[in-house]
Amino acid sequence: MGKEKLAYYGGNKTIGRSFPWPVYGEKEIQALKKVVESGVWGITSDPESSVSRFEKAFADYLGVKHAVAVVNGSVALRLSLMAAGVKPGDEIIVPPMSFIATASVVIEVNCVPVFVDIDPDTYNIDPDKIEEAITPRTKAIIPVHFAGNACAMDKIMEIAARHNLYVIEDACHAHGAEYRNRKLGSIGHTGCFSFQSSKNMCSGEGGIAVTDDDTLHEKISSLHNVGRKPGGAWYEHFNLGCNYRMTQFQAALLLIQLERLEEEVVKRDSNGLYLSELLNEIDGITPLLRAPDATKHSYHLFPFKYDRSKFNNISKKEFAELLAAEGVPCFMGYPEPIYRQPVFQKKNFFSYVIPDSVSYTDVSCPVCEEACHEKGMWITQNVFLGERKDMEMIAEAIRKIKANLQ
Protein backbone atom coordinates (compact mmCIF):
# COMPACT_ATOMS: atom_id res chain seq x y z
CA MET A 1 0.00 0.00 0.00
CA GLY A 2 1.44 3.39 -1.02
CA LYS A 3 1.93 6.39 1.22
CA GLU A 4 -0.91 8.88 1.48
CA LYS A 5 0.02 12.09 -0.35
CA LEU A 6 0.71 15.06 1.92
CA ALA A 7 -1.82 17.91 1.80
CA TYR A 8 1.05 20.36 1.23
CA TYR A 9 1.60 18.67 -2.14
CA GLY A 10 -2.07 18.38 -3.09
CA GLY A 11 -3.26 15.44 -1.01
CA ASN A 12 -6.25 15.40 1.29
CA LYS A 13 -6.05 17.16 4.64
CA THR A 14 -5.97 14.93 7.69
CA ILE A 15 -8.22 17.37 9.55
CA GLY A 16 -10.97 18.86 7.44
CA ARG A 17 -12.59 21.03 10.11
CA SER A 18 -11.48 24.44 11.38
CA PHE A 19 -11.01 25.57 14.98
CA PRO A 20 -12.65 29.00 15.13
CA TRP A 21 -11.44 31.72 17.47
CA PRO A 22 -12.74 33.74 19.17
CA VAL A 23 -15.77 31.79 20.30
CA TYR A 24 -18.90 33.87 20.85
CA GLY A 25 -22.67 33.67 20.71
CA GLU A 26 -25.86 35.54 21.37
CA LYS A 27 -24.94 36.22 25.02
CA GLU A 28 -21.89 38.25 23.97
CA ILE A 29 -23.88 40.13 21.36
CA GLN A 30 -26.59 41.02 23.87
CA ALA A 31 -24.02 42.05 26.49
CA LEU A 32 -22.41 44.48 24.04
CA LYS A 33 -25.82 45.76 22.96
CA LYS A 34 -26.66 46.48 26.60
CA VAL A 35 -23.49 48.55 27.03
CA VAL A 36 -24.17 50.49 23.84
CA GLU A 37 -27.70 51.28 24.91
CA SER A 38 -26.61 52.27 28.42
CA GLY A 39 -24.57 55.19 27.10
CA VAL A 40 -21.91 54.37 29.71
CA TRP A 41 -18.97 53.16 27.69
CA GLY A 42 -16.02 54.32 29.79
CA ILE A 43 -15.19 55.22 33.37
CA THR A 44 -17.94 55.33 35.98
CA SER A 45 -18.14 54.97 39.74
CA ASP A 46 -21.15 52.66 39.42
CA PRO A 47 -20.37 49.35 41.20
CA GLU A 48 -22.79 47.65 38.81
CA SER A 49 -20.85 48.70 35.70
CA SER A 50 -19.38 45.94 33.56
CA VAL A 51 -15.80 46.84 34.56
CA SER A 52 -16.56 46.86 38.28
CA ARG A 53 -18.47 43.59 38.10
CA PHE A 54 -15.73 41.94 36.07
CA GLU A 55 -12.98 43.04 38.45
CA LYS A 56 -14.91 41.57 41.38
CA ALA A 57 -15.87 38.38 39.54
CA PHE A 58 -12.32 37.72 38.32
CA ALA A 59 -10.85 38.37 41.78
CA ASP A 60 -13.41 36.00 43.30
CA TYR A 61 -12.63 33.35 40.68
CA LEU A 62 -8.92 33.49 41.54
CA GLY A 63 -9.53 33.73 45.28
CA VAL A 64 -7.82 37.12 45.71
CA LYS A 65 -9.00 40.38 47.29
CA HIS A 66 -8.37 42.84 44.48
CA ALA A 67 -8.30 43.16 40.69
CA VAL A 68 -7.68 46.19 38.47
CA ALA A 69 -8.75 45.90 34.83
CA VAL A 70 -6.38 47.64 32.41
CA VAL A 71 -5.72 48.07 28.69
CA ASN A 72 -3.44 45.04 28.26
CA GLY A 73 -1.27 42.49 30.04
CA SER A 74 1.88 44.51 29.42
CA VAL A 75 0.47 47.45 31.35
CA ALA A 76 -0.59 45.10 34.16
CA LEU A 77 3.06 44.03 34.47
CA ARG A 78 4.36 47.58 34.23
CA LEU A 79 2.01 48.95 36.89
CA SER A 80 2.85 46.01 39.16
CA LEU A 81 6.53 46.92 38.93
CA MET A 82 5.81 50.59 39.61
CA ALA A 83 3.63 49.72 42.60
CA ALA A 84 6.45 47.54 43.95
CA GLY A 85 8.57 50.69 44.18
CA VAL A 86 11.32 49.83 41.72
CA LYS A 87 13.97 52.49 41.12
CA PRO A 88 16.15 53.25 38.07
CA GLY A 89 18.88 50.67 37.73
CA ASP A 90 17.14 48.01 39.81
CA GLU A 91 17.38 44.50 38.37
CA ILE A 92 14.38 42.32 37.57
CA ILE A 93 14.82 38.58 36.91
CA VAL A 94 12.91 37.35 33.85
CA PRO A 95 12.95 34.29 31.57
CA PRO A 96 14.07 34.70 27.94
CA MET A 97 11.27 32.40 26.68
CA SER A 98 8.28 34.70 26.52
CA PHE A 99 6.66 37.48 24.54
CA ILE A 100 8.94 40.52 24.57
CA ALA A 101 6.67 42.48 26.94
CA THR A 102 7.84 40.39 29.92
CA ALA A 103 11.21 42.12 29.57
CA SER A 104 10.37 45.35 27.74
CA VAL A 105 8.13 46.54 30.59
CA VAL A 106 11.21 46.31 32.81
CA ILE A 107 13.01 48.77 30.53
CA GLU A 108 9.91 51.00 30.60
CA VAL A 109 10.33 51.46 34.36
CA ASN A 110 14.05 52.22 33.89
CA CYS A 111 15.12 48.88 35.33
CA VAL A 112 17.43 46.16 34.00
CA PRO A 113 16.09 42.78 32.82
CA VAL A 114 18.33 39.94 33.98
CA PHE A 115 17.68 36.80 31.96
CA VAL A 116 17.66 33.39 33.64
CA ASP A 117 17.53 30.28 31.46
CA ILE A 118 14.59 27.92 31.26
CA ASP A 119 14.05 24.35 32.40
CA PRO A 120 14.55 22.04 29.39
CA ASP A 121 11.50 19.95 30.22
CA THR A 122 8.90 22.69 30.85
CA TYR A 123 10.37 25.84 29.22
CA ASN A 124 9.52 27.71 32.44
CA ILE A 125 12.18 29.70 34.27
CA ASP A 126 14.62 27.30 35.94
CA PRO A 127 14.26 27.88 39.69
CA ASP A 128 17.66 26.34 40.35
CA LYS A 129 19.30 29.15 38.35
CA ILE A 130 17.45 32.10 39.88
CA GLU A 131 19.49 32.49 43.02
CA GLU A 132 22.82 32.78 41.22
CA ALA A 133 21.41 35.73 39.25
CA ILE A 134 20.44 37.69 42.37
CA THR A 135 22.57 40.74 43.24
CA PRO A 136 22.15 43.63 45.70
CA ARG A 137 20.29 45.45 42.88
CA THR A 138 17.67 42.73 42.39
CA LYS A 139 14.16 43.90 43.23
CA ALA A 140 11.74 41.37 41.72
CA ILE A 141 11.24 38.08 39.86
CA ILE A 142 8.74 37.72 37.00
CA PRO A 143 8.02 34.00 36.49
CA VAL A 144 6.11 33.29 33.26
CA HIS A 145 3.74 30.33 33.33
CA PHE A 146 4.68 29.42 29.78
CA ALA A 147 1.80 27.96 27.75
CA GLY A 148 -0.30 27.80 30.94
CA ASN A 149 1.99 25.33 32.73
CA ALA A 150 2.73 26.29 36.35
CA CYS A 151 6.18 27.49 37.37
CA ALA A 152 7.73 26.04 40.54
CA MET A 153 6.01 28.66 42.67
CA ASP A 154 6.85 27.29 46.13
CA LYS A 155 10.56 27.40 45.39
CA ILE A 156 10.33 30.81 43.70
CA MET A 157 8.37 32.30 46.61
CA GLU A 158 10.86 30.82 49.09
CA ILE A 159 13.80 32.37 47.21
CA ALA A 160 11.97 35.69 47.01
CA ALA A 161 11.20 35.69 50.74
CA ARG A 162 14.80 34.92 51.61
CA HIS A 163 16.06 37.85 49.52
CA ASN A 164 13.15 40.24 50.18
CA LEU A 165 12.03 40.31 46.53
CA TYR A 166 8.67 40.87 44.91
CA VAL A 167 7.18 38.13 42.75
CA ILE A 168 5.04 39.33 39.83
CA GLU A 169 3.39 36.38 38.10
CA ASP A 170 3.12 36.71 34.33
CA ALA A 171 -0.02 34.61 33.97
CA CYS A 172 -0.91 35.90 30.51
CA HIS A 173 -1.03 32.28 29.25
CA ALA A 174 -2.60 30.86 32.38
CA HIS A 175 -6.29 31.75 32.75
CA GLY A 176 -7.74 29.14 35.10
CA ALA A 177 -4.57 27.07 35.42
CA GLU A 178 -3.60 25.85 38.88
CA TYR A 179 -0.59 25.08 41.05
CA ARG A 180 -1.38 22.77 43.97
CA ASN A 181 -5.05 23.68 43.55
CA ARG A 182 -4.34 27.42 43.73
CA LYS A 183 -5.12 29.54 40.69
CA LEU A 184 -2.06 30.87 38.93
CA GLY A 185 -1.80 34.62 39.35
CA SER A 186 -2.95 34.37 42.98
CA ILE A 187 0.35 33.18 44.48
CA GLY A 188 2.82 36.02 43.92
CA HIS A 189 2.58 39.55 45.27
CA THR A 190 0.72 40.43 42.07
CA GLY A 191 -0.52 38.41 39.11
CA CYS A 192 -0.97 39.74 35.58
CA PHE A 193 -3.24 38.47 32.81
CA SER A 194 -3.78 39.41 29.16
CA PHE A 195 -7.05 39.39 27.21
CA GLN A 196 -5.43 40.01 23.84
CA SER A 197 -7.08 38.39 20.82
CA SER A 198 -5.18 35.09 20.96
CA LYS A 199 -5.62 34.48 24.70
CA ASN A 200 -7.92 31.87 26.26
CA MET A 201 -10.07 34.76 27.47
CA CYS A 202 -10.08 37.61 24.99
CA SER A 203 -11.68 40.99 24.42
CA GLY A 204 -9.54 42.09 21.47
CA GLU A 205 -7.18 43.79 23.90
CA GLY A 206 -7.20 44.10 27.66
CA GLY A 207 -5.51 42.92 30.82
CA ILE A 208 -5.85 42.76 34.59
CA ALA A 209 -3.59 42.94 37.65
CA VAL A 210 -4.62 41.03 40.78
CA THR A 211 -3.31 41.06 44.34
CA ASP A 212 -4.12 40.32 47.97
CA ASP A 213 -2.03 43.30 49.10
CA ASP A 214 -4.11 46.38 49.94
CA THR A 215 -1.22 48.80 49.41
CA LEU A 216 -0.24 47.37 46.03
CA HIS A 217 -3.88 47.48 44.95
CA GLU A 218 -4.24 51.12 45.99
CA LYS A 219 -1.14 52.07 44.00
CA ILE A 220 -2.06 50.08 40.87
CA SER A 221 -5.60 51.45 40.95
CA SER A 222 -4.30 55.02 41.15
CA LEU A 223 -1.67 54.54 38.45
CA HIS A 224 -4.19 53.11 35.98
CA ASN A 225 -6.55 56.05 36.56
CA VAL A 226 -4.23 59.02 35.88
CA GLY A 227 -2.99 59.11 39.47
CA ARG A 228 -6.40 59.69 41.06
CA LYS A 229 -7.40 58.27 44.43
CA PRO A 230 -10.81 57.14 45.71
CA GLY A 231 -12.66 60.13 47.08
CA GLY A 232 -10.40 62.59 45.28
CA ALA A 233 -11.61 65.18 42.80
CA TRP A 234 -11.63 64.48 39.03
CA TYR A 235 -8.79 66.94 38.43
CA GLU A 236 -6.80 65.92 41.50
CA HIS A 237 -3.82 63.69 40.69
CA PHE A 238 -1.68 62.19 43.44
CA ASN A 239 0.60 59.89 41.41
CA LEU A 240 2.23 59.97 38.00
CA GLY A 241 -0.23 57.64 36.33
CA CYS A 242 -1.97 57.52 32.98
CA ASN A 243 -5.27 56.42 31.48
CA TYR A 244 -4.86 52.65 31.36
CA ARG A 245 -8.54 51.86 32.00
CA MET A 246 -10.49 49.02 30.38
CA THR A 247 -13.68 49.92 28.50
CA GLN A 248 -17.15 48.70 29.49
CA PHE A 249 -17.36 46.87 26.14
CA GLN A 250 -14.35 44.70 26.90
CA ALA A 251 -15.52 43.93 30.42
CA ALA A 252 -18.97 42.93 29.15
CA LEU A 253 -17.40 40.36 26.84
CA LEU A 254 -15.11 39.05 29.56
CA LEU A 255 -17.93 38.62 32.06
CA ILE A 256 -19.64 36.21 29.66
CA GLN A 257 -16.39 34.35 28.97
CA LEU A 258 -15.67 34.03 32.69
CA GLU A 259 -18.95 32.14 33.09
CA ARG A 260 -17.65 29.31 30.93
CA LEU A 261 -13.92 29.55 31.72
CA GLU A 262 -13.76 26.70 34.24
CA GLU A 263 -15.56 24.31 31.91
CA GLU A 264 -13.19 25.28 29.09
CA VAL A 265 -10.10 24.84 31.30
CA VAL A 266 -11.20 21.32 32.22
CA LYS A 267 -11.71 20.48 28.55
CA ARG A 268 -8.36 21.96 27.48
CA ASP A 269 -6.61 20.14 30.29
CA SER A 270 -8.17 16.80 29.35
CA ASN A 271 -7.42 17.21 25.65
CA GLY A 272 -3.86 18.34 26.34
CA LEU A 273 -3.17 15.32 28.52
CA TYR A 274 -4.61 13.00 25.89
CA LEU A 275 -2.60 14.55 23.07
CA SER A 276 0.55 14.26 25.18
CA GLU A 277 -0.09 10.53 25.54
CA LEU A 278 -0.58 10.15 21.79
CA LEU A 279 2.46 12.18 20.75
CA ASN A 280 4.78 10.50 23.25
CA GLU A 281 4.36 7.40 21.09
CA ILE A 282 5.85 9.15 18.03
CA ASP A 283 9.62 9.04 17.84
CA GLY A 284 10.95 12.57 17.35
CA ILE A 285 8.06 14.41 19.02
CA THR A 286 8.32 15.11 22.77
CA PRO A 287 5.56 17.10 24.49
CA LEU A 288 6.88 19.30 27.26
CA LEU A 289 6.39 17.87 30.73
CA ARG A 290 3.48 19.01 32.79
CA ALA A 291 4.87 20.60 35.96
CA PRO A 292 4.62 18.03 38.78
CA ASP A 293 2.57 20.41 40.96
CA ALA A 294 0.32 21.66 38.14
CA THR A 295 -3.18 20.58 39.11
CA LYS A 296 -4.61 22.24 35.99
CA HIS A 297 -2.90 23.28 32.75
CA SER A 298 -4.66 25.88 30.60
CA TYR A 299 -2.92 24.87 27.36
CA HIS A 300 -2.82 28.34 25.90
CA LEU A 301 -0.18 26.62 23.81
CA PHE A 302 0.70 22.96 23.41
CA PRO A 303 4.51 23.09 23.22
CA PHE A 304 6.58 20.16 22.07
CA LYS A 305 10.14 19.40 21.09
CA TYR A 306 10.81 18.48 17.49
CA ASP A 307 13.78 16.28 16.60
CA ARG A 308 14.53 16.89 12.93
CA SER A 309 16.80 13.83 12.74
CA LYS A 310 13.65 11.66 12.99
CA PHE A 311 11.95 13.54 10.13
CA ASN A 312 14.52 13.32 7.33
CA ASN A 313 16.28 16.40 8.75
CA ILE A 314 13.70 18.95 7.58
CA SER A 315 13.71 22.21 9.55
CA LYS A 316 11.04 22.96 12.10
CA LYS A 317 9.78 25.72 9.79
CA GLU A 318 9.24 23.15 7.04
CA PHE A 319 7.65 20.73 9.51
CA ALA A 320 5.26 23.46 10.71
CA GLU A 321 4.24 24.18 7.11
CA LEU A 322 3.53 20.51 6.44
CA LEU A 323 1.56 20.18 9.65
CA ALA A 324 -0.48 23.33 8.98
CA ALA A 325 -1.35 22.02 5.53
CA GLU A 326 -2.78 18.91 7.20
CA GLY A 327 -5.17 21.15 9.16
CA VAL A 328 -3.25 21.44 12.45
CA PRO A 329 -2.90 25.07 13.64
CA CYS A 330 0.73 25.20 14.66
CA PHE A 331 3.67 27.56 14.90
CA MET A 332 7.43 27.17 14.93
CA GLY A 333 7.72 29.06 18.20
CA TYR A 334 9.69 32.12 19.20
CA PRO A 335 12.53 32.61 16.69
CA GLU A 336 14.92 34.03 19.29
CA PRO A 337 15.24 34.50 23.04
CA ILE A 338 14.09 37.97 24.05
CA TYR A 339 17.65 39.20 24.59
CA ARG A 340 18.48 38.39 20.96
CA GLN A 341 15.80 40.77 19.68
CA PRO A 342 17.25 43.84 17.91
CA VAL A 343 15.90 46.22 20.56
CA PHE A 344 18.08 44.51 23.18
CA GLN A 345 21.09 43.85 20.99
CA LYS A 346 21.21 47.47 19.81
CA LYS A 347 19.86 48.97 23.06
CA ASN A 348 17.22 50.99 21.24
CA PHE A 349 15.78 52.14 24.54
CA PHE A 350 15.07 55.75 23.53
CA SER A 351 14.52 57.94 26.61
CA TYR A 352 14.62 55.15 29.17
CA VAL A 353 17.54 55.45 31.57
CA ILE A 354 19.44 52.17 31.42
CA PRO A 355 23.07 52.12 32.65
CA ASP A 356 25.64 52.27 29.86
CA SER A 357 27.35 49.22 31.36
CA VAL A 358 24.34 47.04 30.55
CA SER A 359 24.81 44.95 27.42
CA TYR A 360 22.95 41.96 26.04
CA THR A 361 25.38 41.00 23.28
CA ASP A 362 27.10 38.38 25.43
CA VAL A 363 24.06 36.99 27.23
CA SER A 364 23.67 33.26 26.74
CA CYS A 365 20.82 31.01 27.82
CA PRO A 366 21.66 27.75 26.01
CA VAL A 367 18.43 25.89 26.76
CA CYS A 368 16.29 28.74 25.48
CA GLU A 369 18.47 29.18 22.41
CA GLU A 370 18.11 25.50 21.54
CA ALA A 371 14.33 25.75 22.02
CA CYS A 372 14.07 28.79 19.76
CA HIS A 373 16.51 27.72 17.06
CA GLU A 374 16.04 23.97 16.86
CA LYS A 375 13.40 22.19 18.91
CA GLY A 376 10.59 24.29 20.32
CA MET A 377 7.23 24.31 18.50
CA TRP A 378 3.61 24.60 19.53
CA ILE A 379 0.01 23.94 18.57
CA THR A 380 -2.38 26.83 19.23
CA GLN A 381 -4.95 26.96 22.01
CA ASN A 382 -8.17 26.94 19.97
CA VAL A 383 -7.59 23.28 19.07
CA PHE A 384 -8.04 22.23 22.71
CA LEU A 385 -11.71 23.16 22.78
CA GLY A 386 -12.14 20.39 20.21
CA GLU A 387 -12.92 16.72 20.81
CA ARG A 388 -10.76 13.70 21.63
CA LYS A 389 -11.09 12.64 18.00
CA ASP A 390 -9.36 15.89 16.99
CA MET A 391 -6.41 15.00 19.22
CA GLU A 392 -6.21 11.61 17.51
CA MET A 393 -6.23 13.27 14.10
CA ILE A 394 -3.36 15.56 15.11
CA ALA A 395 -1.29 12.51 15.97
CA GLU A 396 -2.36 10.90 12.70
CA ALA A 397 -1.24 14.00 10.76
CA ILE A 398 2.23 13.78 12.30
CA ARG A 399 2.48 10.07 11.57
CA LYS A 400 1.44 10.78 7.97
CA ILE A 401 4.20 13.38 7.59
CA LYS A 402 6.77 11.04 9.10
CA ALA A 403 5.78 8.17 6.80
CA ASN A 404 6.18 10.40 3.74
CA LEU A 405 9.66 11.49 4.82
CA GLN A 406 11.03 7.98 5.26
Share of the chain above pLDDT 90, in %: 98
Q: Please report, to the nearest 10 degrees, the dihedral formed by the alpha carbons of residues 248, 67, 290, 166 taken in order.
A: 140
What's the number of CA atoms in the CB half-sphere (13 Å) around residue 161? Answer: 8
Which of 40, 67, 68, 53 shows the shortest CA–CA distance to 245?
A: 68
Read off the pLDDT of residues 248-287 as tens digits, 9 standing for 90 and up: 999 999 999 999 999 999 999 999 999 999 999 999 999 9
- Tell me the pLDDT of the chain (406 aa) as tens digits: 468 999 999 999 999 999 999 999 999 999 999 999 999 999 998 999 999 999 999 999 999 999 999 999 999 999 999 999 999 999 999 999 999 999 999 999 999 999 999 999 999 999 999 999 999 999 999 999 999 999 999 999 999 999 999 999 999 999 999 999 999 999 999 999 999 999 999 999 999 999 999 999 999 999 999 999 988 999 999 999 999 999 999 999 999 999 999 999 999 999 999 999 999 999 999 999 999 999 999 999 999 999 999 999 999 999 999 999 999 999 999 999 999 999 999 999 999 989 999 999 999 999 999 999 999 999 999 999 999 999 999 999 999 999 999 8
Return d(Cα 54, Cα 58) in angstroms, integer. Answer: 6
For residue 274, give Cα distances in angstroms to 257, 328, 384, 388: 25, 16, 10, 8
CATH superfamily placement of domain 261-405: Aspartate Aminotransferase, domain 1 (3.90.1150.10)
**Domain chopping of the chain, boundaries:** 26-257, 261-405
CB 148 within 8 A of CB 298: yes
**Per CATH, is 26-257 categorized as 3.40.640.10?**
yes
Identical fold at 26-257 and 261-405?
no
Return d(Cα 319, Cα 33) in angstroms, integer. Answer: 44
Return d(Cα 231, Cα 369) in angstroms, integer. Answer: 50
What secondary structure does DSSP assign to 346-368, as a single string? TT--TT----TT---TT---HHH
Tell me the whole-structure pTM to 2 decimals. 0.97
Largest CA distance in the chain: 79
